[in-house]
Amino acid sequence: MTNQSVIFFDIDGTLLDSNKELPSSTKEAIYKLKELGHIVAIATGRAPFMFEDLRKELDIHTYVSYNGQYVVLNGEVIHTNPLNIPSLEKLTEAALTNNHPVVFMDHEDMKANVPEHAYITESIGTLNIRQFPTHDPKYYKGRELYQTLLFCPEGEESQYEQEFHDFDFIRWHPVSVDILPKGGSKAIGIEKLIEKLGFPAERQFAFGDGLNDLQMLATITNSVAMGNGEEEVKKVAKFVTKSVDDNGILHGLQMVGLL
């Protein structure tokens, strides 16, 4: 296929609507892309176990998860970028003194360092997933972690940003922040896939809406921001489609000429 393209989709606010449901128009559009011979991939901040059902429903086997730290091509892991564990241990100790819980995450599970906390319940609950972190304060020992969640009100992450330079902090909820390896991003994860797939820039597309999509949309030539996206995201994208709740994926794919 001479015009074969690769299209990366964020999940929350992009593939999934404001009710965390997959619009029928989006599902049909994804299947049409695949019928036309294009490669459809997911690029998300979620852990692999948080969107397994979605991958099965859409028959997608290539994805960038954990904002680029765990990358899979056709079911095979091709790139990992774990967190610095000694630094994470120090951050966790500091967070405990501030009553800021953390959740450790690898490719299989997530564990909280406290038995329960209202911030964890509030933010994880918005993801509409079956899993919920159980308690294991030592889960970081002896394993690779690709992301950790820090739970604190907006602005209070600044103290950690100033002290822990091995990490990037990206807010995704009013009381929760992603902790990533410094410099890690969806854009880098996508770059690892493109190295394997070999698509030229003009045949690369990406759809997103959140702050963790900024680098991806700024890097990909044919970038599309959702109408419901953050204003910063819309500014860096080449195109802006309708809201996810208004058939935004279908409209965006038609806008860029893929459908």
From the list 80, 76, 83, 70, the residue with the least C-alpha distance to 44 is 70
State the pLDDT at residue 240. Answer: 98
Tell me the three-class secondary structure of 159-174, residue by residue.
Answer: HHHHHCCCEEEEEEEC
Mean pLDDT of 182-190: 95
Q: What values do phi and psi take at 119, rounded to 5?
A: -65, -40
Tens-place pLDDT, residues 196-209:
999 999 999 999 99
Distance, CA of 133 to CA of 83 (rounded, Å): 19
State the pLDDT at residue 131. Answer: 86
Q: Is the pLDDT of residue 47 over 90?
A: yes
Mean pLDDT of 40-68: 96
Tens-place pLDDT, residues 110-134:
999 999 999 999 999 998 888 899 9
From the list 89, 151, 96, the residue with the least C-alpha distance to 126 is 151
Mean pLDDT of 72-94: 97
Place 213 in a pLDDT band, splitting at 50, 70 and 90: very high
Q: Is 178 a catalytic residue?
A: no
Residue 207's alpha-carbon distances to 118, 148, 171, 191, 254, in angstroms, are 32, 24, 19, 16, 13
Residues in the chain: 259
- CATH numbers and ranges of domains, the chain: 6-80+184-255 (3.40.50.1000), 85-181 (3.30.1240.10)
Q: What percent of the chain has pLDDT over 70?
A: 99
Place 1 in a pLDDT band, splitting at 50, 70 and 90: low
State the pLDDT at residue 226. Answer: 98
Statement: the pTM of the whole predicted model exceeds 0.75 = yes
Q: In angstroms, how far is the first alpha carbon of the chain from the final one?
A: 15
Tens-place pLDDT, residues 247-258:
999 999 999 999
From the list 215, 256, 248, the residue with the least C-alpha distance to 6 is 256
Average pLDDT of the chain to the nearest whole number: 96
Mean pLDDT of 76-100: 97
* Look-up of token digits 């892991």: 77
CA 147 to chain centre: 11
Q: Is the pLDDT of residue 16 over 70?
A: yes
State the pLDDT at residue 127. Answer: 87
User: 3-class SS at 32?
Assistant: helix
Active-site residue (options: 10, 17, 168, 178): 10
State the pLDDT at residue 228. Answer: 97
